[in-house]
Structure 1
Amino acid sequence: MSIIIKPIITEKVTKQSELLNRFGFVVDRKANKVQIKKAVEAAYGINVVSVNTMNVRPDRTSKFTKSGLISGKTNAIKKAFVLVQEGETIDFYNNI
């Protein structure tokens, strides 16, 4: 089971990573904070100070088309925000 699915790369999270050493990840929905901390430390070789998580509910949409009403939803995800020890950083762009 892979705990870390992908990093979150948005303007808000990038600004937090530059100013506060705080990085965001999309993680497995069943993972807890201890598992997330161990996975990030193993994957990036850094020391994690704290982990904050949030469950994001699915968004429901409805579209009116010629064939009628079409409804759908996005997947529910879990986000984890990891505070890294002062002086350490994660570089997501080195493999591009």
Structure 2
Amino acid sequence: MHWRDIIRRPVVTEKSNLLADLNNQYTFVVHPRANKMQVKQAIELAWPNVRVEKIRIANMPAKRARRLRRVTIRKDGWKKAIVTLQPGNRIDLFEGV
């Protein structure tokens, strides 16, 4: 797989921004079949001056919600990777903003 297939998008929430500032950890939505080694290679290819220290992967469950009486809404599950970078490395997610 190409690195753009593995890394789908960054997760931008208050918690992920706090993790990035305090612990140098970045959260990404990744391909459902990607493993830790593929995610590490994809991050280091996408940002050449960055070295990965540790990766944690979690499968986020699907969610269901009921609207009105008979209509059920379903969101698919997804996989996220929390990437810890070596000290001194940073990823600029929003360049030029």
Give TM-score, length-normalised by structure 1.
0.92
Q: Distance in 1 between matches of 2:94 and 2:81?
A: 19
Specify the code of the residue in structure 1 equivalent to 2:80. Answer: K
Q: Which protein shows a greater Rg?
A: 1
The total of aligned residue pairs comes to 93
Specify the code of the residue in structure 2 equivalent to 1:24. Answer: T
Q: Distance in 2 between matches of 1:95 and 1:77?
A: 29
1:54-76 CA deviation, whole Å, 9 max, x = no partner? 00011001111xxx510120011
Return 5+ residue gaps in structure 2 as ranges.
none
Runs of 4+ that moved beyond 3 A:
none
Deviation at residue 44 of structure 1 after TM alignment: 1.1
Deviation at residue 95 of structure 1 after TM alignment: 4.5
Return 5+ residue gaps in structure 1 as ranges.
none
The aligned counterpart of 1:9 is 12
Percent identity of equivalent pairs: 33
The aligned counterpart of 2:85 is 84
> Which of 35, 41, 66 is the aligned partner of 2:44?
41
